Amino acid sequence: MSTTRTAVPNTAVHYFKAAADVLGRQRVGIYGHSRAVAWAQEDGVVADLGGGRCLGWVTRSWSQGETGSGYAALYQGTHNVSGPSGVQVDVNTVYAAQWGQAPITTTTTKETTTVDVSALPHVDQTLWLNRHYTPGRGGQAIKYIVRHHNAGMLTTQGCWDVWQSREASAHYQVEQSGRIGQLVRDTDTAWHAANLLRNQQSIGIEHANSGGATADWPISDATIQAGGRLAAELCLKHGLGRPEFGKNIRDHKETGSTACPYHLAAGGKYHAAWMKAAQDHYDTLTSQEDDMTPDQSAKLDAIYNQMAGGFENGKYPGFDINKLWEAAAAKGFRRLTMMEAVAVSTRASILIFDQLVGPEKDAKGPSFTGWDPDDLRASLAAKLAAGDNGTIAEQLQALVDGMATKKEA
148 binds Zn ion (CB under 5 A): yes
Q: How far is the CB of 264 from Zn ion (least distance, A)?
A: 10
Residues forming a β-bridge with 316: 311
d(CA 131, CA 401): 100
Amino acid at 106: T
Rg over CA atoms, the chain: 33
Instruction: Give the interface size with Zn ion as a residue count (CB under 5 A).
Output: 3
Indicate the burial class of 157 (C-beta count within 10 angstroms; 0-12, 13-18, 19 or more).
Answer: middle
Rank residues 95 and 262 by Cβ distance to Zn ion and give the closer one.
Answer: 262
Rank residues 27 and 149 by Cβ distance to Zn ion and give the closer one.
Answer: 149
Contact stretch for Zn ion (CB under 5 A) within 23-31, 237-245, 246-254, 396-404:
246-254
Enumerate the H helices of 43-169 as residue ranges: 156-165
d(CA 318, CA 340): 13
Contact stretch for Zn ion (CB under 5 A) within 23-31, 108-116, 141-149, 161-169:
141-149
Rank residues 27 and 253 by Cβ distance to Zn ion and give the closer one.
Answer: 253
Q: How far is the CB of 208 from Zn ion (least distance, A)?
A: 12
Rank residues 229 and 252 by Cβ distance to Zn ion and give the closer one.
Answer: 252
73 binds Zn ion (CB under 5 A): no
Residue 57: its H or E element: strand 56-59
Rank residues 260 and 344 by Cβ distance to Zn ion and give the closer one.
Answer: 260
Contact stretch for Zn ion (CB under 5 A) within 59-67, 117-125, 146-154, 195-203:
146-154
Residue 286: its H or E element: helix 271-286
Contact string (CB under 5 A) for Zn ion, positions 248-287, x = contact: ----x-------x---------------------------
Q: How far is the CB of 276 from Zn ion (least distance, A)?
A: 22
**Which positions from 306 through 325 interact with Zn ion, judged by CB under 5 A?**
none
Q: How far is the CB of 103 from Zn ion (least distance, A)?
A: 46
Render 300-335 in DSSP notation, one character per residue: HHHHHHHHH--BTTTTB----HHHHHHHHHHTTT-S
Rank residues 73 and 260 by Cβ distance to Zn ion and give the closer one.
Answer: 260
Tell me if 176 sits within 8 A of 222, measured CB to CB.
yes
373 preceded by a cis bond (ω within 30 of 0): no
Amino acid at 225: Q
d(CA 105, CA 82): 34
Q: How far is the CB of 194 from Zn ion (least distance, A)?
A: 8
Q: How far is the CB of 148 from Zn ion (least distance, A)?
A: 3
User: Residues in the site for Zn ion, rule: CB under 5 A?
Assistant: 148, 252, 260
